[in-house]
Amino acid sequence: MALPLIQARNLSRVYRLGGGDVHALRGIDIDIDEGEYVAVMGASGSGKSTFMNLVGALDTPTSGELTIAGERLADRSPDQLAAFRNRVVGFVFQQFNLLPRTTALDNVALPLLYRGTPAARRQARARECLEMVGLGDRMDHHPSQLSGGQQQRVAIARALANEPRLLLADEPTGALDSRTSEDVMAIFDSLNASGITIMLVTHEEDVGAHARRRVIFRDGRILEDRS
């Protein structure tokens, strides 16, 4: 039987702030299988973003076990976590985080540069990813020449460049109008239909409705987990 892509057991994260402890996650247990489309939801401070940061190896748990793609992330060095992110995870954020003086093509190719992929392969893969998100005619444009929706499409293409097993999206439509948001969510729907595992963090019901499973956090715990 195949292991879940994401497996958390008694996962906790405690932050020391101002001399006191803040319990961002309180011993959660969850499995997410390969190919799932999961919306992680909850109010501000519920623990949803902390959970995403742990799954994305941007942070480490205080206690408990977290296994992603068969790899335990406890006790990894920062360099090892960075290498894991580059191999396994693609990120899409609310603010697109594009390099302003760099073309769409070179923005998308950047993760491949970090991996040491040869230039010809970087360029070919970046073109392929931009075509996947409908920007084949905008490859030479800089972010300032693109609309917000187009910039988010570039960010999605960049997240796909390394062919990740897991795509994490943190409020991916938060900076977009409603019509553009639907266009962007249609891309996520299509990517999941092609087999990519997607976990998106959102507080918007209409965005969460695109997922096939909703996991709702409250006060650092899972309040509800439903298909």
Please report the pLDDT score of residue 1 as a whole number.
Answer: 62
| pLDDT confidence of residue 2 | 73
Domains of the chain by range and CATH? 6-226 (3.40.50.300)
Q: What percent of the chain has pLDDT over 70?
A: 100
Q: What pLDDT score was predicted for residue 30?
A: 98
Residue 25 pLDDT greater than 70, yes or no? yes
Using the predicted structure, report yes or no on whether residue 17 has a pLDDT greater than 90: no
Q: CA-CA distance, 40 to 207, in Å (whole number)?
A: 11
Calculate what percentage of the chain has a pLDDT beyond 90.
88
CA distance 157 to 64: 33
User: In the predicted model, is pLDDT for residue 122 greater than 80?
Assistant: yes
Rg of the chain taking only CA atoms, in angstroms: 17
Residue 128: pLDDT band (50, 70, 90) is very high
pTM: 0.93
Residue 76: what residue type?
R
Mean pLDDT of the chain: 94
Tokens of 85: 């992110």
